[in-house]
């Protein structure tokens, strides 16, 4: 006699396991622990076998009957439904074993050991994979990943302004696919087909130093700069503010409140025509107080060399960098922004939207509205102090996480 849905629902556990028969070999097996399992007994090649059809209530009575009917069709065609199920399970296991994340982690361990990566470098690579790649395509079989899949994950990175990170992530994917192709787990490398779309920023335009060790060398060179004191202060503050060069050189003392550690830049001087607030670290305030003794009576924080009524030349920072023997394709005045954006994102792991706010990029809330200048102010203050402290460590030659595109 066939079971009813009510009978199945009301089946209670007892001290001993028991069966509720439905027909054609199918029954509900009720375990003493309360578990209810669909089973089907059948004979194949003169051997008695049992096929698991699922667990109630995840598999309903109707679903179990459909699975039983499918199994009986296989039997009618001379096929063992148990063997088919084992083959399907093996196929699923193989897909999971060859997922992009599994292969990616295998590649990572092999490379880390064979190339003797330092912990800081390997940590940066695995964090990038875990944050920007695995959540989106990690569960997909590596052989089934398409060019569109790769382009999609890399575009997500570029949309937050982290172009260098997207370039490095593309390189990681490239190496993972080549690794998988060696033993046949992947037949193609879709990452290689999009690499031109996610190249590193053109270093001839807004050239920037983003390797922490080289940043330390730059900071030490700035401290040793023998030119104008005003220019030297501008050089020291540029990495702490990471504003646009024009916003820096045209800074006015009236915009600063050193007691509250804030620089309020008016909308008319901002590229996006929105007022911008720069929280000041203790290091920045100290430099500004020292400079105030010299230029505090003038309008501009960084007055020109020949007159106080105009700001410093737009060539002053560039000329100072060249004087310190940093070539035009190595570092620019605008490069302090790329330096901060890259290291805050890749090394210090600061939330991308905090960085974008501080760069005065257009960042909108979930409703599409532009955030105001004080958005995430507490977090940005913390970030700016963390950044200044990190730069102090680089300047002193502290052990840092190295960004090396060749090793990536």
Tell which residue, 147, 164, 314, has the closest CA to residue 247. Answer: 314
Question: Are residues 327 and 209 in contact, defined by beta-carbon separation less than 8 angstroms?
Answer: no
State how far Cα 236 lies from the chain centre: 30
- Tokens 């004979």 correspond to 43
Rounded-to-10 torsion of CA 2, 8, 11, 13: 110
- Tokens 């051997």 correspond to 47
Q: Which residues are catalytic?
A: 244, 271, 334, 337, 361, 371
Integer CA distances (angstroms), 84 to 23, 46, 97, in order: 22, 18, 20
Burial 70-83 (b: 16+ CB within 10 A, else e): ebbebeeeeebbbe
Give 40's strand partners.
26, 51
Q: Helix, strand, coil shares of the chain as percentages rounded to 5?
A: 50, 10, 35
Distance from C-alpha of 18 to C-alpha of 35, rounded to nearest angstrom: 11
Distance from C-alpha of 404 to C-alpha of 391, rounded to nearest angstrom: 18
């Amino acid at each position: 006699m066939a079971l009813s849905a009510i009978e199945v629902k009301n089946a209670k556990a007892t001290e001993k396991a028991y069966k509720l028969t439905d027909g054609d070999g199918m029954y509900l097996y009720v375990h003493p622990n309360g578990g209810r399992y669909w089973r089907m007994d059948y004979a194949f090649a003169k051997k008695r076998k049992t096929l698991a059809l699922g667990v109630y209530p995840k598999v309903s009575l109707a679903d179990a009957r459909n699975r039983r009917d499918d199994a009986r069709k296989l039997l009618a065609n001379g096929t063992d439904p148990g063997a088919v199920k084992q083959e399907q399970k093996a196929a699923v296991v193989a897909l999971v074993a060859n997922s992009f994340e599994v292969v990616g982690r295998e590649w990572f361990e092999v490379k880390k050991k064979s190339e003797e990566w330092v912990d800081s470098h390997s940590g940066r690579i695995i964090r990038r994979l875990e944050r920007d790649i695995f959540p989106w395509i990690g569960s997909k079989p590596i052989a089934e990943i398409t060019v569109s899949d790769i382009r999609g994950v890399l575009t997500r990175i570029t949309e937050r302004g982290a172009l260098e990170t997207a370039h490095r992530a593309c390189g990681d994917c490239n190496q993972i696919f080549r690794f998988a192709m060696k033993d046949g787990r992947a037949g193609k490398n879709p990452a290689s087909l999009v690499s031109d779309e996610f190249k590193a920023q053109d270093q001839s335009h807004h050239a920037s130093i983003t390797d922490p060790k080289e940043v330390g060398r730059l900071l030490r060179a700035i401290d040793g700069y023998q030119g104008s004191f005003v220019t030297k202060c501008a050089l020291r503050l540029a990495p702490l503010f990471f504003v646009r060069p024009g916003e820096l050189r045209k800074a006015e003392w009236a915009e600063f409140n050193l007691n509250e550690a804030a620089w309020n830049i008016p909308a008319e001087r901002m590229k996006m025509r929105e007022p911008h607030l720069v929280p000041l670290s203790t290091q920045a305030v100290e430099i500004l107080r020292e400079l105030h003794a010299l230029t505090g009576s003038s309008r501009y924080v960084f007055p020109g060399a020949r007159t106080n009524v105009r700001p410093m030349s737009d060539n002053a920072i560039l000329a100072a960098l060249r004087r310190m023997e940093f070539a035009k394709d190595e570092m620019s005045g605008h490069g302090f922004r790329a330096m901060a954006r890259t290291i805050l994102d890749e090394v210090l792991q600061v939330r991308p939207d905090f960085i974008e706010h501080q760069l005065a990029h257009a960042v909108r809330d979930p409703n599409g509205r532009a955030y105001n200048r004080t958005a995430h102010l507490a977090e940005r203050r913390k970030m700016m102090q963390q950044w200044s402290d990190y730069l102090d460590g680089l300047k002193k030659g502290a052990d840092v996480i190295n960004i090396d595109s060749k090793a990536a």
